Amino acid sequence: MENAILVVNCGSSTLKLALFDSHSLRCTATGLAERLNHDDAVARIPELEGDFPLPAGATHREALEAMTKALTDSGLLSGPPAAIGHRVVHGGENFREAALIDDQVLEAIEHCAGLAPLHNPVNLSGINSTRSLFPGVPNVAVFDTAYHQTLPPKAYLYAVPYSYYRDWGVRRYGFHGISHSFMLTEAARRLGKTPATTSIISAHLGNGCSIAAIRDGLSADTSMGLTPLEGLVMGSRSGDIDPGLFDYLKSRGIAQDQLHHVLNHESGLLGLSGQTNDMRTLCDLAEHGHEPSRIAIEVFCFRLARYIGAMMASLHHLDALVFTGGIGENSSRVREQTLDNLKLLGFDLDQELNRYGGEYSGGHIESPESRFPVLVIPTNEELVIAREAVRLTSASN
């Protein structure tokens, strides 16, 4: 594929790749490497048959090399890509939009690593790898925080001493901005409106979960904060807790670094159910009478409903509530149970449309009585990154 756009998304132990045609922006291949830096690292390109093992302990760079070689050998990628787009988790206050990567941009991303120590360093390793693998090809950084840079101070400030913000950048940044911005453009398209006049509440519910109030095209509030730990209940993250918990648990012998691990990796759906962070499995367990799983789902949906109500405070009208992410797109139970808490606000689902996730109704799952449209829209973060890579490099010329 000539003039391909390569999209690179490095997670802590995963690497996702996608190839797009730069003219049509059609996705031509995808790839996923998992368990990187572990003995059983493995990679898979669905367009090529089967998994292929990576060397034990393979790094992001080694996985990227192996996967781009496989894409090249198979002819899915012919020659260097026209441009490369990277997902970068934290852009701090430096980036209000995507950026063409140069040394200055790299330095600014490094500077933000203190705010996202689990994410920015692996994002940087992806950027450095593609820069040396494909010298001369432009690289573009697309930030998960950038879309939320329009949050007003009343939404981004914590009520702590102001100097913490001024001197150390302590504020709410918000994440999943790439997905929330895609929800805006897709919802606007389906509603026959322009993005700039569209106001939605966007609920991205995957392993990580966040919600955003988008007012006339701009992010006005969101549930994640300084880090992606704040807000909704997630797969293994607690979301909101009382910071008083820190002192109390210290008195119970739980050290701060242990608590950090517990809140990020042993809480959320996993912590509540004692079983799994996987919503599909939890729904199965709950249906078979497993009470902790039922309660985990109930807490998840109730917290989400509270946040949907809270997002109303930032809007002057609402064009649609939008569900996306693995759970938002696939779990009719979660959508129904969440909106059952919001009858007073006028949300009402059509059970049949909800069961099929809006597949045959342009994404709509609301009943005719509902005060607001409710949409299910599959997210496509890779496409947003590819679009930005084209926009900033004119790679389609």
Candidates 316, 385, 380; CA nearest to 146 is 385
* 327 is a contact residue toward ligand AMP (CB under 6 A): yes
Interface with ligand AMP (CB under 6 A), residue from 206, 231, 239, 373: 206
Q: Which is nearer to ligand AMP, 18 or 283 (CB)?
A: 283
* 12 is a contact residue toward ligand AMP (CB under 6 A): no
Q: Is there a contact between 297 and 333 (Cβ–Cβ < 8 Å)? A: yes
**Least separation in angstroms between CB 332 and ligand AMP:** 8
Q: What residues pair up with 219 in beta bridges, in sequence order?
A: 214
* 209 is a contact residue toward ligand AMP (CB under 6 A): no
357 Ramachandran zone, left/alpha/beta (phi>0; psi -120 to 50): left
Q: Which is nearer to ligand AMP, 283 or 386 (CB)?
A: 283
Residue 213 has which token pair?
Answer: 């109030």
* 330 is a contact residue toward ligand AMP (CB under 6 A): yes
* 217 is a contact residue toward ligand AMP (CB under 6 A): no
Q: Is there a contact between 77 and 130 (Cβ–Cβ < 8 Å)? A: no
* 325 is a contact residue toward ligand AMP (CB under 6 A): yes
**Least separation in angstroms between CB 279 and ligand AMP:** 4
Residue 219 has which token pair?
Answer: 């992010």
Interface with ligand AMP (CB under 6 A), residue from 21, 240, 266, 278: 278
- Active-site residue among 144, 221, 319, 350? 144
* 4 is a contact residue toward ligand AMP (CB under 6 A): no
* 228 is a contact residue toward ligand AMP (CB under 6 A): no
**Least separation in angstroms between CB 331 and ligand AMP:** 4
* 229 is a contact residue toward ligand AMP (CB under 6 A): no
CA distances from 312 to 22, 305, 315, 357, 376 (A): 38, 11, 5, 24, 19
Cβ neighbours of residue 303 closer than 8 Å, sequence gap 6 or more: 232, 233, 239, 240
Q: Which is nearer to ligand AMP, 30 or 207 (CB)?
A: 207
DSSP of 277-319, one letter per residue?
S-HHHHHHHHHTT-HHHHHHHHHHHHHHHHHHHHHGGG-S--S
Query: CA end-to-end span of the chain, whole Å?
Result: 15
* 239 is a contact residue toward ligand AMP (CB under 6 A): no
* 68 is a contact residue toward ligand AMP (CB under 6 A): no
Q: Which is nearer to ligand AMP, 65 or 278 (CB)?
A: 278
* 338 is a contact residue toward ligand AMP (CB under 6 A): no
Q: Which is nearer to ligand AMP, 198 or 277 (CB)?
A: 277
Cβ neighbours of residue 39 closer than 8 Å, sequence gap 6 or more: 56, 57
* 322 is a contact residue toward ligand AMP (CB under 6 A): no
Running DSSP on this structure, what letter comes out for residue 397? -
Interface with ligand AMP (CB under 6 A), residue from 41, 226, 283, 285: 283
* 279 is a contact residue toward ligand AMP (CB under 6 A): yes
Q: Which is nearer to ligand AMP, 141 or 285 (CB)?
A: 285
Residue 363 has which token pair?
Answer: 């994404």
**Least separation in angstroms between CB 178 and ligand AMP:** 13
Interface with ligand AMP (CB under 6 A), residue from 85, 231, 326, 363: 326
- The CA distance from 338 to 291, in Å, is 18
Does the annotation count 348 as an active-site position?
Answer: no
Phi, psi (deg, nearest 5) at residue 144: -75, -20
**Least separation in angstroms between CB 329 and ligand AMP:** 7
HSE-up (13 A, CA, CB side) for residue 296: 31
Residue ranges of the alpha helices (H) in 85-209?
A: 103-111, 120-133, 153-156, 162-168, 177-191
Catalytic residues: 144
Binding site for ligand AMP (CB under 6 A): 206-207, 235, 278-280, 283, 325-327, 330-331
